[in-house]
């Protein structure tokens, strides 16, 4: 009898917690024609770019499989003298070779002439890192510059003929370094051929259990706050082996321990333009410069607040390839220290409809959404809240938290399940306007903050996400503000009625609840956001005019008519918007907001944060020379 009751109870719990919607969508499908359109479409796929079809006495034959493509090929040993510097980079030879009808021979024999052999490669080399080159292509179709593309290839040479070896085309990257478990971390990398994987880490080696293109190996039994050397190896089924350079990384300190520096940057997307920056949807020059400078500044990790790549893509492969390129640009940093990115509005795979610029997140969400592509591309902490409606995209890896020493980092996603910039599309078809945080995530943020508040090992809390909570320049009409329009909210199709249902709270109410939770904490040092290309630093307190709802909506139309200070914002907190990783400058004037920053700048750059024993200092590093353009001696002194 008791067992039967228990059985019924169990059945009830299972049924009530896992609502099955089949393949129902949480949106109404528009009766509009789909247009296959991407803002930035790569001229080649990853498969084409890495298509080495054979070897000669001169080098390796690259075939992009598109006879309309022409251009130049630039070559560098890779990494250039990697034993001497920590930050890997390419240093291209001055001669270019021609690419025509989509084909080129990558000239490798030149590297065995004394003039070019900086890496001291020898014929038939069998030990150490496998000889590898980076090739950079400047591609054209008749009359049109398509931009720069680059990849890497490893090879063997017997003194007569070059032959391709499996190649580490992504990584290795150091991931999941945190005080949550400072005795473990994960090394991930990508190969162009199906390979086994092995990491030699410190004195131990760790084998991967299966053969794949995407490798992930958990390293365990480590000592916190310690430096280790490592390298990776991959072997193809026919026994050809590639071995990486040796890198040096560091485990996180124990919870509550240590002082350290970290970097915050965001917005590195770019379009085809000119010069060195026209690189696969990315401003390669500036992003490379920032990640190199962060390593030199001994930042233990980089937080990256979204808009990594141009994205806005009609298909997931195109977005994924841009994200691969992004990882490649920052790999000089990431081989040594971890990067924690989140999603921006540009990491978006869309259904683009003809006529009225309606866009909706592409389904099926579990495979084709920007959220799914992002979670696949990165190896972020996996402690996201479970999405309350299983029909919607995942929060996994774009919403997470981790502790590093005395600091708790909370990553939120306010570019989730968006309808591009169109809030009316959300109202018409369903979706989440850019900037809006839905109830399930909001509750997770509130509970993460209150847990960190009562955790004695946490002294400082940092939050980061994409769109500004308090925009100041171009995005005053979105962000978490919409010029004070609380009518903006998410809409979800009811599975039974087929009708759209509005979220109960509008964006101003959501913003106020979000910031109230932040302002109640005595530990929040800063909230970092992105999206407005440049920098502004604003102190938000219970005297800042921000708008209270519904009191400040005097005529009841849902839009604020005045901007009172919010008495719930009990402790002052810095809102630091820094989005200077190369997406092109915005100006800093001419946008009326109730709040005024202490400092604003259009320079490109990033933020360095120094977590010290009794304070948290911050610098804005900007411009070509990496000058200190803004500084706060202690972000906590305002509490
Ligand atoms: Ca992942
Ligand atoms: Ca009003
Ligand atoms: Fe953005």
Mean pLDDT of 438-447: 98
Ligand 1 centroid, distance to 381 Cα (angstroms): 8
Cα gap 340→411, rounded to integer Å: 9
Contact assessment for residue 276 and residue 313, using Cβ atoms and an 8 Å cutoff = no
pLDDT at 234: 98
Instruction: Convert the pLDDT of each residue in 400-411 to its tens digit.
Output: 999 999 999 999
Q: Answer whether CATH 1.10.3430 is correct for domain 46-168.
A: no
Ligand 2 centroid, distance to 514 Cα (angstroms): 22
Q: Which ligand is nearest to the CA of 188?
A: 1
Sequence ranges of the domains in the chain = 46-168, 268-607
Check residues 8 and 90 and name the one with the higher pLDDT.
90
Q: Which ligand is nearest to the CA of 553?
A: 2
Ligand 2 centroid, distance to 438 Cα (angstroms): 23
Ramachandran angles phi, psi of 311, nearest 5°: 55, -125
Q: Which ligand is nearest to the CA of 269?
A: 3
Contact assessment for residue 268 and residue 282, using Cβ atoms and an 8 Å cutoff = yes
- State the chain's mean pLDDT as an integer: 93
Ligand 2 centroid, distance to 485 Cα (angstroms): 8
Mean pLDDT of 328-336: 97
End-to-end CA distance of the chain: 59
Ligand 1 centroid, distance to 338 Cα (angstroms): 14
Instruction: Convert the pLDDT of each residue in 116-163 to its tens digit.
Output: 888 888 876 656 899 999 999 999 999 888 889 999 999 999 989 999
Q: Which ligand is nearest to the CA of 483?
A: 2
Concatenated DSSP letters of 539-558: EE-TTSB---TTTT-TTSSS
pLDDT at 631: 98
Helix (H), strand (E) at residue 216: strand 212-219
Ligand 2 centroid, distance to 198 Cα (angstroms): 62
Name the E strands within 129-286: 132-141, 144-157, 162-165, 168-175, 185-195, 198-201, 204-207, 212-219, 227-235, 241-243, 247-250, 260-265, 278-279, 282-283
Class of domain 268-607: alpha beta
Ligand 2 centroid, distance to 345 Cα (angstroms): 28
Are 46-168 and 268-607 equal in CATH topology?
A: no
Helix (H), strand (E) at residue 410: strand 407-411
Ligand 1 centroid, distance to 46 Cα (angstroms): 19
């Amino acid at each position: 009898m008791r067992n039967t009751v228990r059985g019924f109870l169990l059945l009830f719990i299972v049924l009530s917690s896992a609502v099955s919607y089949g393949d129902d969508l949480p949106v109404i499908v528009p009766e509009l024609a789909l247009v296959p359109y991407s803002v930035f479409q790569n001229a080649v796929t990853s498969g084409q770019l890495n298509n080495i079809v054979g070897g000669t006495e001169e080098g390796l034959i690259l075939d992009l499989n598109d006879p309309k493509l022409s251009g130049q090929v630039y070559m560098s040993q890779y990494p250039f003298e990697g034993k001497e510097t920590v930050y890997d980079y390419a240093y291209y030879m001055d001669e270019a070779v021609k690419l025509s009808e989509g084909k080129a021979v990558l000239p490798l024999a030149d590297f065995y002439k004394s003039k070019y052999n900086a890496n001291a490669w020898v014929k038939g080399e069998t030990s150490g890192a496998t000889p590898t080159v980076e090739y950079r292509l400047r591609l054209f179709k008749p009359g049109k510059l398509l931009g720069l593309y680059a990849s890497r290839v490893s090879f063997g040479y017997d003194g007569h003929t070059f032959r391709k070896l499996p190649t580490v085309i992504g990584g290795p990257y150091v991931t999941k370094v945190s005080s949550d478990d400072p005795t473990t971390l994960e090394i991930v990398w990508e190969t162009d051929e199906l390979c086994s994987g092995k990491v030699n880490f410190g004195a131990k080696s760790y084998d991967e259990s299966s053969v794949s293109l995407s490798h992930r190996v958990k390293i365990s039994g480590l000592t916190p706050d310690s430096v280790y050397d490592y390298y990776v190896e991959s072997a193809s089924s026919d026994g050809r082996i590639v071995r990486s350079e040796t890198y040096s990384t560091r485990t996180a300190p124990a919870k509550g321990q240590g002082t350290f520096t970290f970097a915050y940057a965001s917005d590195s997307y770019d379009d085809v333009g000119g010069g060195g920056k026209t690189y696969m949807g990315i401003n390669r020059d500036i992003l490379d410069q920032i990640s190199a400078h962060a390593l030199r500044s001994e930042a233990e990790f980089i937080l990256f607040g979204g808009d990594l790549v141009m994205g806005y893509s009609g298909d997931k492969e195109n977005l994924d390839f841009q994200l691969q390129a992004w990882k490649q640009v920052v790999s000089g940093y990431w081989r040594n220290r971890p990067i924690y990115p989140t999603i921006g509005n540009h990491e978006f795979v869309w259904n683009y409809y003809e006529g009225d610029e309606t866009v909706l997140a592409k389904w099926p969400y579990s495979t084709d959404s920007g959220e799914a592509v992002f979670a696949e591309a990165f190896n972020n902490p996996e402690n996201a809240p479970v999405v309350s409606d299983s029909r919607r995209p995942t929060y996994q890896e774009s919403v997470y938290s981790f502790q590093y020493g005395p600091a708790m980092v909370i990553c939120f996603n306010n570019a989730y399940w968006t309808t591009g910039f169109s809030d009316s599309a959300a109202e018409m078809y369903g979706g989440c306007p850019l900037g809006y945080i839905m109830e399930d995530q909001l509750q997770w943020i509130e509970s993460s903050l209150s847990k960190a508040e009562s955790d004695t090992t946490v002294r400082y809390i940092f939050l980061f996400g994409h769109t500004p909570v308090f925009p100041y320049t171009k995005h005053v009409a979105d962000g978490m503000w919409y010029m004070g329009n609380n009518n903006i909210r998410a809409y979800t199709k009811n599975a039974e009625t087929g009708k759209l249902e509005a979220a109960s709270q509008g964006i101003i109410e959501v913003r106020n609840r979000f910031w109230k939770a932040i302002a109640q904490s005595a530990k929040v040092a800063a909230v970092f956001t992105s999206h407005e290309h440049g920098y502004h630093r604003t102190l938000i307190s219970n005297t800042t005019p921000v708008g209270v709802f519904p009191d400040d909506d005097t005529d009841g139309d849902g839009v604020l008519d005045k901007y009172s200070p919010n008495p719930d914002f009990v402790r002052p907190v810095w809102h630091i918007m820094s989005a200077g990783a190369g997406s092109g400058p915005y100006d800093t004037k001419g946008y009326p907001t109730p709040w005024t920053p202490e400092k604003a700048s259009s320079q490109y750059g990033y933020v360095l944060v120094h977590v010290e024993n009794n304070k948290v200092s911050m610098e804005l590093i900007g411009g070509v020379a990496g000058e200190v353009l803004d500084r706060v001696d202690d972000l906590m002194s305002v509490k």
